[in-house]
Amino acid sequence: MKTKVIIQGSSNSKGNTYKVVNYLNNDNKFDIIDLKVKNIGAFEYDFSNAQDDFLPLMEEIIEKYDTFIFATPVYWYSMSGTMKHFFDRLSDLLHYKKELGRQLRGKKMAMISNSGENDRKDGFSMPFIQSANYLGMEYLGDTHAWFSDNEIDNEAKNKIDEFRKLI
């Protein structure tokens, strides 16, 4: 049974993030969850989305995995909206599912981003690092992938190879 999961958050299930996720998972060490195919609504103060796919997903990943690797494209200098919804919904766990939220403590987090160029801006990883800190998770690190002729750039592949060893 795998103990590490890649959580893919792109608007395109089979786009560049998917290519990066597949390269990272070349030895099939990780399970993969595609947030795009889940019905996860925005955070609402009245928790009106409590019946969507978020809570069952959290129950599953908290039970099965000790390491979460977030894979996101760069959209407008930030994580994708799909991924941001997921992070916003972690707030549900701080309100009516506190016991579940506490079980994140001690788990590990890492992040891999991608865009067309090797020009990710400083600060991109900050929300991941700070969220891990806040939730009592250990942040293992992150890397960025980019593309040449629609394929992952060779230098970026080397970086992913190093990142794979970290996680």
Ligand X SMILES: Cc1cc2nc3c(=O)[nH]c(=O)nc-3n(C[C@H](O)[C@H](O)[C@H](O)COP(=O)(O)O)c2cc1C
Phi, psi angle pair for 97, to nearest 5°: -135, 50
Q: Is 125 in the site for ligand X (CB under 6 A)?
A: no
Residue nearest ligand X, Cβ-based: 15
Q: Is 150 in the site for ligand X (CB under 6 A)?
A: no
- As a whole number of angstroms, the distance between CA 6 and CA 18 comes to 11
Phi, psi angle pair for 78, to nearest 5°: -130, 180
Tell me if 81 sits within 8 A of 17, measured CB to CB.
no
Tell me if 35 sits within 8 A of 9, measured CB to CB.
yes
Nearer to ligand X, 17 or 125 (CB): 17
Site residues for ligand X, 97-116, by CB under 6 A, read: 114-116
CA angle 74, 75, 77 (to 5 degrees): 70
Nearer to ligand X, 45 or 76 (CB): 76
Q: Is 23 in the site for ligand X (CB under 6 A)?
A: no
If one counts every other C-beta atom within 10 angstroms of the C-beta of residue 120, the result is 18
Site residues for ligand X, 63-92, by CB under 6 A, read: 73-77
Nearer to ligand X, 16 or 49 (CB): 16
- CB-count exposure of residue 7 (10 Å: 0-12, 13-18, 19+): buried
Q: Is 17 in the site for ligand X (CB under 6 A)?
A: yes
Q: Is 96 in the site for ligand X (CB under 6 A)?
A: no
Compute CA 52 distance to the chain's CA centroid, rounded to the nearest angstrom: 19
Residue span binding ligand X (CB under 6 A) among the ranges 10-18, 30-38, 57-65, 100-108: 10-18
Total binding residues for ligand X by CB under 6 A? Answer: 15
Adjacent-strand bridge partners of 33:
7
Nearer to ligand X, 12 or 48 (CB): 12
* Minimum CB–partner distance for residue 119 and ligand X (Å): 6
Site for ligand X, rule CB under 6 A: 10-12, 15-17, 73-77, 114-117
